[in-house]
Structure 1
Amino acid sequence: QVWDSFGRALYSSQPHEYPITSIAWALDGELFAVGSFNTLRLCDKTGWSYALEKPNTGSIFTISWSIDGTQLAGACGNGHVIFAHVVEQHWEWKNFEITLIKRRTMKVHNVINDAVDFLEFRDRVIKASLNYGYLVVSTSLQCYVFSTKNWNTPLIFDLKEGTVSLILQAERHFLLVDGGGLYLYSYEGRLISSPKYPGMRTDILNAQTVSLSNDTLAVKDKADEKVIFIFEALSGKPLGDGKPLTHKTEIVEIALDQKGLTNERKIAFIDKNRDLFITSVKRFGKEQKIVKIGTMVQSLAWNDTCNILCGIQDSRFTVWYYPNTVYVDKDLLPKTLYEKDASEFSKNAQIVSFVGNQITIRRADGSLVHLHISPYPAILHGHIGASRWQDGVRLCRFVKDQTLWACLAAMAVANNDMTTAEIAYAAIGEIDKVQYINSIKDLPSRESRMAHMLLFSGNTQEAETLLLQSGLVYQAIQVNINLYNWERALDLAVKHRTHVDTVLAYRQKFLQDFGKKETNQRFLQYAEGLEVDWNKIKAKIEMEIAKERERAAASPAVRT
């Protein structure tokens, strides 16, 4: 039986023919070996069996792995010592299949033209990774970097120390993890950085606890499992204000998105309650919102070409076509999802890769399942990334899919493109939002329009700050009045010595409409001896709007 670190059962095998006499984990925790009478079995960490050998050795009483996890030794009942080497490891990416056929030989098969290449190495192969058009192979002493365009001339450099326990790839560079630390290399073999954090232990890091993108590296802390350290890839320094990301419960798996701008980089993570969260990694000053976007999630992966996220949720397979929606219009998120029944994947399935529009899932019995999703959301991401809004609208009209329109609406709001947002919200029948966007387009100044877009996304504090910084004090007060933040509206009016009567007038009208009396001492205090004259107030408001119009006309800002 196999359990995870929280005591949850992952796997339970059928009874074996003979009693099990030994069991041992490989040091990286990816494999374990099981010994029995005339039996040696190699198993994945989730329990299913890779290989079964039947040596004529009697019972295998003890198994010991080499430090690099490529071979093991077993003490046998007949007095012999058995040695075994792990081969036939398999890597796939797009049209390439690579197999480790011997300890020092790899076979490369291009399935499109059926071409076969053999790669020979001086020492035994320990780890390999195939992604983003490169094969990175580490042997006991060297690292080889092959381009999938040319298998004959690898780039080779010597390794500093220790045995590589993990290789992670991003589009521009790759990460090697060994006993000595974390090393980030370019595909030209140049050492870019070597991030460090307090209490660093590299021997326990794996693909679930480390994540790499073009500009960011994230590592889950083992000492405190609620903490994620986030580094700038190029310098190896902690990102933002240097503080790690802290969650309220222990984190199980982390993943950085791969595309888009550095200041919009997002990290998704699953905690021990199996809830899926997303947050931004650029963390200057104020705390970024950590938003929950899924429950009962057991595995997740970001797409390699655009920021689409997929995950296995309890009995459903879910794709978040535009996870950023939670920051611009939370109500829209359910409309940007694709869901499919996941009962065919059985319990504890894991996502292996998400390349292009193909997702590879490994079921609990070790078999692989390939899923295809619609290519249109990725095309839409491409159009919007290049600011081709007209092409995005055309694509949505051609496909006639509500999910795609919902993604376009969220993307348009995130990029402050009011015209596209209006078209997209109209297409999904969100009439109230169309009317609000129309009212935003009629506002006189660019600052007001941006502030109301922030309000639209639920960022009231940012909207108020923007208006105050732009000197639009009355508009900031009016925003708080509209949101019934009476205390804040009065604070602003008193602080800036303007429109105190406006706040009191709207407050009185609000209480009269509900047949209530004023009980708040501050409002009673300011209302003493102050006469509310609606004609005066309306004249003042009109003057403020006229002033804003004049300012907007004088400044060269272009209307969006």
Structure 2
Amino acid sequence: MRLKTHICKRTSVNNNIDYRLQSSASQRSASGNKEKANKEKANITPLSCVDWSSNEEIYFVSDDHQIYKWSANTRDSVEVAKLPDDFIPTDLHWLLLGGRSSGGGKGSDTLLICSNDGRFIILNKSARVERNISAHSAAISTGRWSPDGAGLLTAGEDGVIKIWSRSGMLRSTVLQSDEPISCARWAPNSTSIVFSQGCYMSIKPLAANSKLTRWRAHDGLVLSLSWSTHSNIIASGGEDFRFKIWDTQGANLFTSSTEEYAITSVCFNSEKDVLVVGSFNMLKLCSSAGWSYSSCRFSEPTVGSFYTMSWSTDGTQVACGTSTGNLVVGYIVERQLISRNLKATTTGRKTINLQDITNGSSDVLDFPERVINFGLGYGHLIVATSNQLHIYNEKYINTPIIIDGRTDVRVIEVGKKFFMVLDATSIWVYTYSGRLHLNPRYPGLQAQVPLLTARAVTLGLDVLAIRDNSDNTVIHIFDLVPGASRQYEPHSLRAKTQIAEISACRAGTLDDQYVVLIDNNRELYITESRNLNGAGGGGAAAGGAGNAERGLNGRNSNCGEIYKIGTQLTTVMWASETNILVGVHDTCYSIWYCPGEGAADPTLIALTTLTIDATEFGKNITLESFEDAIVTFRCAGALLPVNVNIYCEILHRTLMEGQWQQALRICRLAQNGNLWATLAAIATRKNQLQISEEAYSAALQIDKVSYLQYIKELSSASAEQMAENSLMLGRLIEAETILLHNKKFPEAVALCLRMHNWRRALEVAQKHEPELLDKVLEKRRRYLKALQRDEWDSVFLPLLDKESDDN
């Protein structure tokens, strides 16, 4: 991946100098035009204010007081307005009403420009000044609209940060200090501000009585900051010739090597996982982990230091202003995706090269509009241009299916049956024939779409899960099975803490679908995504009617059970064809061979999880792909393929087809503890007790073998047997639901008593079988007598008092 760049002049396009990375022959201007351009450039003031008003238009302004608009279509600049002579701009930012991607070629609405005398002005799209406000006693170093568009911040060299409403009314003064503030940026959720003073950086939450986090970031002045919407990390550039990446607690994640000159600007791409870094005559495209994709050095012509940078709303182009007054525009090329035998590479703004690695064939795909995004997988290539979607099948590459009307596509996720698109207006799920399968809706989604990222939306085999941006503890799950009720009425799942990332499994059967969550504490949880109201697995008969009984322990009736299966995870990924999960820690990675069926039992999770040291890979490991039995990691730009246990991959495929005897033969051949435990968990879930008993015996789980022998004595396929089966896997609510749905009330009460869930036992008895109250109270008395304690539970005290009065 690299940037192609060209330098735009403020005069007509004929004077433009086109400079392309690693290609001296690409300078199309004649030498006479070049000398003329250099003479003109000597009289141009530094360009320190640049921003995109749409995907095709850039506004910029410098000390000459002129506001210019550059168009990508004409490659020319026109004067839009003239500022007052005493107004010298220091920062410029467009407010894109409707979200980050509302530009889409339509233009935007409100422009904020700050000056070096402490004023800022707000202009409408007609360049008319709506507000002219004296905000600071010294120069304003930063003026930024909030990501949610509710207000703006100004930070000045007087050491003050203020927040204003969109109409220019002062809301609050966030900070007052004696040190000048050189740069400030909003958090992606608009709840915090990061700013720099000298060589220090600070994060100030906007909540009342919140504490300031401050740390020494560089050995020189911090010149530039950027807060990533995609990864929620912070980049900084300083006079010590380095750029660094930090987490939101101030911990250093990456420190670059020393460059030749000071790092004058850094800017994260809001749609892709990349960072652009500017220095003197140098532009570098980096991963958000810090390592470099490519560098572009400008020696002829000289452009000077990059003062400001801004990505377009679709995340494909970057505009840069330099100290010599040049406007430099770059766009990403050579972005590459690989899936099995296919490799897709962008070779230009409107071309993709699709290769078949196995036979060496290659096709160049030309598009009428600029390529915004693309996805590859399961034998299909999905390409999003400015206004269309192109669906390619590897077998019929010359006859794509074209869908019109999709603008600013930010996320494409390719699944086995469907593919999902997140664009400027909504989320869309299509079949590979081009038919719209689902356009999900829930309260507040329309306002949240501009702030959704790939970490907040996931497409599984038959489900679509979306994290609610207004409440980060809630996930909305849509069923993609045709005719399912949840296709239009999603079920909501609530976690205890805020969720950072979600991922749905991409394979399995209809009854074995799971979603994993990573919360803000980096802990990993898993839950069923389809059987939220039923018992799942062997208890499928205990479906809908059991919903009323799911209030156990104060749980929401819409929620399934959430189990913790890992800690300190940075990212996870499901296998493409099986329900095997891989996750990355700081210095190692883990493989969960059976994360779903064994989730409720810590013993099973331990037996089916393999953790492998990865210090030899280096730091900042990310997951690139997980196809079949090969996991591909990326570290410092290198791709590192690693094999998982091939026998476990084959075992999962065999079990999905219901071939239990074949699965036994695989385990007997491999003689691996992970395989036996995986087979045991899945067989127990599917009520294959004979196979489960042999598997647990081979895994040396003697207690479970004894319990299985007890279960086998119960009536085959009875509610009692299915409930005990679920109980063995640790699924207490599932076991209780099975019994209640089948009207086995005495057994349900006995189950609660066995688990010492006294309140639930009392609740079930009072609701369904009042004659069982005496049994519950008798068990409670024996329990208290064994503990030698008096009754303390407020629920049982009135019942005991009433019983005493009756006696």
Tell me the distance in 1 between the aligned counterparts of 2:592 and 2:245: 31
Matching residue within 462, 465, 474 for 1:227: 474
Aligned residue in 1 for 2:116: none
* Counterpart position of 1:399: 670
Paired residues, number: 527
| Alignment equivalent of 1:83, drawn from 323, 329, 341 | 329
1:74 maps to amino acid: C
* Match runs of 1:520-539 below 5 Å: none
Alignment of 1:23 onto 2:266: yes
The letter for the 1-side match of 2:607 is K
| Alignment match of 2:459 (pick from 185, 188, 212) | 212
Q: Which residue of 1 aligns with 2:580?
A: 308
1:230-241 aligned within 5 A: 230-233=477-480
Q: Structure 1 residue 457: deviation in Å?
A: 2.6
Instruction: Select between 251-260 and 42-51 the one with higher mean Cα deviation.
Output: 42-51
Alignment counterpart, residue 266 of structure 1, candidates 481, 502, 514: 514
Cα deviation for residue 111 of structure 1 reads 2.2
Query: Which of 427, 430, 450 is the matching residue for 1:203?
Result: 450
Displacement of 1:131: 0.8
Q: Is residue 693 of structure 2 the alignment partner of residue 447 of structure 1?
A: no
User: Quick one: distance in 2 between partners of 1:62 and 1:502?
Assistant: 75
How far is 1:276 from its partner? 0.5
> What's the offset of the Cα at 1:110?
2.2
Structure 2 partner of 1:191:
436
Q: Which amino acid aligns with 1:176?
A: V
Structure 2 counterpart SS, 1:360:
strand
> Per-residue deviation at 1:114?
2.0
Match among 427, 431, 451 for residue 698 of structure 2? 427
Identity of aligned residues (%): 34
Residue type at the aligned position of 2:476: F
Distance 1:529 1:435, change over 3 A: farther
Say if 2:479 and 2:490, in contact at 8 Å, map to a contact too: no
Counterparts of 1:486 and 1:221 in 2: how far apart (Å)?
Answer: 35
Compared CA separation, residues 500 and 28, structure 1 to 2 (3 A): closer
Q: Which has the higher contact order (CA 8 A, sep 6+)?
A: 2
1:319 aligns with 2:566: no
User: Residue type matched to 2:705 in 1?
Assistant: V
What do residues 214-270 of structure 1 show as CA deviations (whole Å, max 9, x unaligned)? 322122233332222322346898669745322222211110011234454211011
- The Cα of 1:116 is off from its aligned counterpart by 2.2
Match of 2:256 among 13, 20, 27: 13
Closer, same or farther: CA 8–453 of 1 in aligned 2, 3 Å: same
Q: Report the CA distance between 1:459 and its aligned residue.
A: 3.8
Aligned partners of 1:172 and 1:214 also within 8 Å: yes
**Alpha-carbon distance change, 265 to 16 in structure 1, aligned in 2, over 3 angstroms:** same
Segment drifting more, 248-257 vs 322-331 = 322-331
Match of 1:125 in 2: 371
1:108 matched to which residue of 2? Answer: 354
Deviations 1:22-59 (A, max 9, x none): 33333415323222211111122232221111113222
TM-score normalised over the length of structure 2: 0.60
- Conserved 8 A contact 1:193-1:236: no
Residue number among 419, 422, 425 corresponding to 1:174 in the alignment: 419
Output the TM-score relative to the length of structure 1.
Answer: 0.84
How far does the alpha carbon of each residue in 1:161-180 deviate from its partner, in whole angstroms, 9 at most, with x for none? x3211211111121222212
Which of 119, 139, 159 aligns to 2:385? It is 139
CA-CA distance at 1:418 after TM superposition: 0.7
Q: Specify which of 636, 649, 653 is matched with residue 382 of structure 1.
A: 653
Shift of 1:407: 0.3
Deviation at 1:501, TM superposition (A): 8.9
Distance 1:459 1:216 in 2: 22
Q: Which amino acid aligns with 2:501?
A: E
Deviations 1:330-371 (A, max 9, x none): 3211111122112123232111111111111111x2222111
Sort the Cα spacing of 1:395 and 1:22 in 2 relative to 1 into closer, same or farther, 3 A. Answer: same
1:278 aligns with 2:526: yes
Describe the shift of the 1:60–1:391 C-alpha distance in structure 2 as closer, same or farther (beyond 3 A): same
- Structure 1 residue 108: Cα displacement: 2.3
Q: CA deviation at 1:380?
A: 1.3
**CA-to-aligned-CA distance 1:279-313 (integer Å, 9 cap, x gap):** 12243443321111000111100011011111012
User: Are the aligned partners of 2:586 and 2:620 in contact in 1 as well (CA < 8 Å)?
Assistant: no
Give SS of 1:326's match: coil
Contact residue 390 and residue 400 of structure 2 kept, 8 A? yes
Q: What is the one-letter code of the residue matched to 1:129?
A: G
1:45 pairs with one of 281, 288, 312: 288
Q: Which residue of 2 aligns with 1:547?
A: none
Alpha carbon RMSD of aligned pairs, Å? 3.3
- Residue by residue, what CA displacement relative to the aligned partner does 1:374-420 show, whole Å, maximum 9, x if unpaired? 12112111222222111111110111111100000000111111111
Verify the 8 A CA contact 1:124 1:139 in the aligned structure 2. yes
1:68: which partner in 2?
A: 314
For 1:244, what is the secondary structure of its paired residue? Answer: strand
Residue of structure 2 equivalent to 1:246: 494
User: 1:208 Cα deviation (Å)?
Assistant: 1.7
Query: In the alignment, is the contact (CA less than 8 A) between 1:358 and 1:372 conserved in 2?
Result: yes
Do the aligned partners of 1:278 and 1:290 also contact (CA within 8 Å) in 2? yes
Of 257-266 and 134-143, more deviation after overlay is shown by: 257-266
SS at match of 2:261: coil
Give me the whole-angstrom Cα distance separating, in 2, the residues matched to 1:119 and 1:164: 19
Q: What's 2:709 paired with?
A: 438
CA contact (8 A) 2:526 2:599 kept: no
Q: 2:338 aligns with which of 69, 92, 111?
A: 92
Matched, 1:163 2:434: no
> 2 CA distance for matches of 1:491 and 1:31?
55
Unaligned runs of 5+ in 2: 1-243, 534-546, 548-556
Out of 395, 398, 409, the position equivalent to 1:152 is 398
1:518–1:524 Cα contact (<8 Å) kept: no
Deviates more, 1:238-247 or 1:482-491: 482-491
Letter in 2 for 1:367: A
The alpha carbon displacement at 1:98 in A equals 1.9
Cα distance in 2 for residues equivalent to 1:86 and 1:486: 62
SS of 1:331 mapped into structure 2 = helix
Deviations 1:424-449 (A, max 9, x none): 11111222221221121112462222
